[in-house]
Structure 1
Amino acid sequence: MDDYFCKLKSDFPIFSKHPDLVYLDNAATTQKPFSVIEKLKNFYSETNANVHRAVYRLAEESTALYEEAREIVASFVGAKSGEVIFTRGTTESLNLLAYSLGLSKKYRAFVVPLFEHHSNFVPWQQVAHILGLKFYPVKIHASGFLLEDVVKTINRCEKPFVFSMTGLTNSLGYRTPFEEVTKLVHSAGGVFVLDGAQLIPHEPFNFKESGVDFLAFSGHKILGPTGIGVLVGKEDLLKQMIPFQYGGEMIDRVGERDTTFAPIPHRFEAGTPNVAGAVGLGEALKYLERIGIEKISKHIKNLTEEAVKELSDIPGLTLYRPENSHGIISFSHENIHPHDLAELLSRLSNVAIRSGHHCSQQQMKVLGVSSLCRASFYLYNTHSDVKKLADGIREALRWFS
């Protein structure tokens, strides 16, 4: 199996330019295969035009590609195409939801666990402050939370409410029990939002079968371009929501004193959309489908387990890894600051990892640390990369001592 994924590395031009690079910062952003880069190049070279409003041939071709990308995304996550909204990324998707649901005046409270990435914590917190809504953080225990704490928070929060949670934490790779939480939220009359930025690249997902009300994820974390993201919402809920932005493209009719808006999903895509980004994301998802998400997930699980074994043998190294985790290993050394260790790994071994609080300061506070090193895996990583990571850490420790 590892040979198969070793061959896939040749699909990614960055590894031809940097053949000794061990890229382990995939939770931040993924590399792009030739097929995605060529799709972007071809779009700008052959089909570049604005979408939806013009009737000349080039614009019609561009529109067809844009809407085809919407169909590809919908099929990939098991949703209807009319439920797929293109955004700039997970952050914009979650801000859209926080503002739109908050301004609807249908909800009195927002509930968010403390281990969330700042993009899924701060928008709900700040919009609640701005609009005078209640904000309830769910306490956590080290890497995760207890369902009983979720129940307690839901029981005491004002109703109706919105509960927003990640499927896979960016900080430690904790795979949350979002399926159970969704049922708890619905039984209490709430709406459930899933931040799928880390989850969707790593495991099969079906929006309709999952029961979640909204899903957000980013293109650049799943082999696609930067600047493109997705918000998926249940059709009946999207129809009830007011737009987050106003301008061109999302208009039906404009009067002197009032305006009516286009049907979903276009009412949430104000202005000229990132057509090339959507087309590139569609191509990235087609690439992943050819390989198979389940096969990718199994490969990453094997790499993660091997990395745990390798790193556990290094004296002074502490692993912060929940039992139910995937694709991410966070760690620190008792004698070296995480930033120093990450820099030494890069300088001495060309191993690229992330260090810092990983946009999850509340999680770090509960763990009793200010920052951690983080290695995150994706489909082009191999067992050789895991060994180079472990050997690189040992070399950094020898150099530091």
Structure 2
Amino acid sequence: MSSVKELDEYFKKLKADFPIFSERPDLVYLDNAATTQKPSAVIEKLRHFYVTANANVHRAVYRLAEESTALYEESRKTVADFIGTAPEEIIFTRGTTESLNLLAYSLGLSGKYKSFIVPLFEHHSNFVPWQQIAHTLGLKFYPVKIHGGELFLEDVEAIVKSCEKPFVFSMTGLTNSLGYRAPFEAVAKLVHSAGGIFVLDAAQLIPHEAFDFAASDIDFLAFSGHKILGPTGIGVLAGKKELLEQIRPFQYGGEMIDKVGEQDTTFAPVPYKFEAGTPNIAGAAGLAEALKYVKNISYEKISKHIENLTKNAIEKLSVIPGLTLYCQKNCHGIISFSHENIHPHDLAELLSRLSGVAVRSGHHCSQQQLKVLGVSSLCRASFYLYNTHNDIDKLVAGIQDALRWFS
């Protein structure tokens, strides 16, 4: 493995692949947990599709439509290969949010499950759908308590033993609020030992570490393209084929139909029965290109570089008087913080105005997590592969400048 300096130099050169940093040379972009910037290869893939291959998929036999269909299905195969599964187990969605809503509705309407279980540190996209569908359908909903930012396995074990069964347990692999790497592998084993179904929200996890769906103990996995260098409006739901075949579609319309009768309809095989309407063809192609870009660099380099950035940021931020860091020992790529003398919104605005540093402020779509921490808002700096140690220095200097200005 390369040294800290060598990795930093490598990714500093790679930053040239991202046009936004040429257009905005003073930008220090530290909001990668919300969305990542796009390399030229992804942008060009989108342009190339619309210039050379724009047609609807699976609907016509003329050459342009066949080329568009081939590109779409090649993109599905690229995604499947990237996470270690079969193409028929890949459903394209608009993002993690739609993937999780699809699951909550479809699993709930299946009539097979009596309860849903979700930890309190979840993003609202992986909390509210299960909560609301449970209420709508008269199912039980069990939130799992957390300790600061952590999840204890004994709390999981107690709930999966006592809940109404069969049940579905859904959780994140890496929290977007604190960057806590949750013990989802151990949780999945507990869930399956109690006869449950396990769903993994991998929106933050997939950009940071390799994942082998077929080799994992996971039943369903969801992630978004825009958090791993891909376009917005494209996401993935991966699911075991036998489970996908058992549940009903989330949306109805064109493309997902087999035969329509006056009183009943049969649906296309998976994954197509879950892809109603015209899909985001360009987005799928752009996502595939983004995954190729990440694979070409290697997860080993990316993870180590972000680990180095996280460690450096913690060391330098922790010595600023009045600044509190809300991170666990195993946090990765995300640091949330607040200062005793300035509101997070004010601090984030001053960082942008004075130093060109972009961080997120607010509850980070995780109000239950912040409630446990005893705060209503935090600043969050999140790193990805094009960030450098110079960005960390600018963040630290920017906070110090903001505090001087505010005082």
Using the size of structure 2 for normalisation, the TM-score is 0.98
Aligned partner of 1:324: which letter?
A: N
Alignment of 1:348-363 (within 5 A): 348-363=354-369
Q: Is residue 257 of structure 1 aligned with residue 263 of structure 2?
A: yes
Aligned partner of 2:383: which letter?
A: F
Q: Is residue 158 of structure 1 aligned with residue 161 of structure 2?
A: no
Distance (Å, rounded) in 2 between the aligned partners of 1:294 and 1:211: 22
Q: Corresponding residue for 2:3?
A: none
Deviation at 1:53, TM superposition (A): 1.5
Q: Is residue 40 of structure 1 aligned with residue 43 of structure 2?
A: no
Q: Is residue 278 of structure 1 aligned with residue 275 of structure 2?
A: no
Q: Corresponding residue for 1:310?
A: 316
Q: Corresponding residue for 2:304?
A: 298
Distance (Å, rounded) in 2 between the aligned partners of 1:374 and 1:177: 22
1:284-313: per-residue Cα shift (whole Å, max 9, x none)? 000111101121011000000000001011
Distance (Å, rounded) in 1 between the aligned partners of 2:372 and 2:59: 51
Distance (Å, rounded) in 1 between the aligned partners of 2:322 and 2:376: 18
Distance (Å, rounded) in 2 between the aligned partners of 1:327 and 1:206: 21
Q: Is residue 176 of structure 1 aligned with residue 182 of structure 2?
A: yes
Q: Is residue 222 of structure 1 aligned with residue 236 of structure 2?
A: no
Q: Corresponding residue for 2:119?
A: 113
Alignment of 1:170-249 (within 5 A): 170-249=176-255
Aligned partner of 1:245: which letter?
A: Q
Q: Corresponding residue for 1:76?
A: 82
Aligned partner of 2:303: which letter?
A: S
Deviation at 1:218, TM superposition (A): 0.3
Aligned partner of 1:65: which letter?
A: L
Pick from 43, 50, 53 the counterpart of residue 59 of structure 2: 53
Deviation at 1:264, TM superposition (A): 0.3
Residue 230 of structure 2: SS of its match in structure 1?
coil
Aligned partner of 2:29: which letter?
A: Y
Distance (Å, rounded) in 1 between the aligned partners of 2:374 and 2:263: 55
Distance (Å, rounded) in 2 between the aligned partners of 1:189 and 1:65: 39
Residue 165 of structure 1: SS of its match in structure 2?
strand
Q: Corresponding residue for 1:103?
A: 109
Distance (Å, rounded) in 2 between the aligned partners of 1:146 and 1:281: 35
Q: Is residue 364 of structure 1 aligned with residue 370 of structure 2?
A: yes
Residue 396 of structure 2: SS of its match in structure 1?
helix
Distance (Å, rounded) in 1 between the aligned partners of 2:167 and 2:35: 32
Aligned partner of 1:199: which letter?
A: L
Deviation at 1:238, TM superposition (A): 0.5
Q: Is residue 133 of structure 1 aligned with residue 139 of structure 2?
A: yes
What is the percentage of aligned positions where both structures have the same residue?
A: 77
Distance (Å, rounded) in 2 between the aligned partners of 1:267 and 1:12: 36
Pick from 93, 118, 124 the counterpart of residue 87 of structure 1: 93
Query: Gaps spanning 5+ residues in structure 1: where?
Result: none
1:132-173: per-residue Cα shift (whole Å, max 9, x none)? 000000001111121100011111110000000000000000
1:94-140: per-residue Cα shift (whole Å, max 9, x none)? 00000000000000000000000000000000000000000000001
Q: Corresponding residue for 2:23?
A: 17
Distance (Å, rounded) in 2 between the aligned partners of 1:399 and 1:56: 64
1:328-385: per-residue Cα shift (whole Å, max 9, x none)? 0000000000000000000000000000000000000000000000000000000000
Distance (Å, rounded) in 2 between the aligned partners of 1:52 and 1:162: 33
Deviation at 1:324, TM superposition (A): 1.4
Distance (Å, rounded) in 1 between the aligned partners of 2:94 and 2:71: 18
C-alpha RMSD over aligned residues: 0.5
Distance (Å, rounded) in 2 between the aligned partners of 1:4 and 1:146: 38
Alignment of 1:337-348 (within 5 A): 337-348=343-354
Aligned partner of 1:376: which letter?
A: S
Deviation at 1:59, TM superposition (A): 0.3
Deviation at 1:391, TM superposition (A): 0.6
Return structure 1 stretches of 4+ with deviation > 2 angstroms.
Answer: none
1:174-218: per-residue Cα shift (whole Å, max 9, x none)? 000000000000000000000000000000110011110000000
Q: Corresponding residue for 2:326?
A: 320
Aligned partner of 1:262: which letter?
A: A
Query: Gaps spanning 5+ residues in structure 2: where?
Result: 1-6
Residue 220 of structure 1: SS of its match in structure 2?
helix
Aligned partner of 2:201: which letter?
A: D
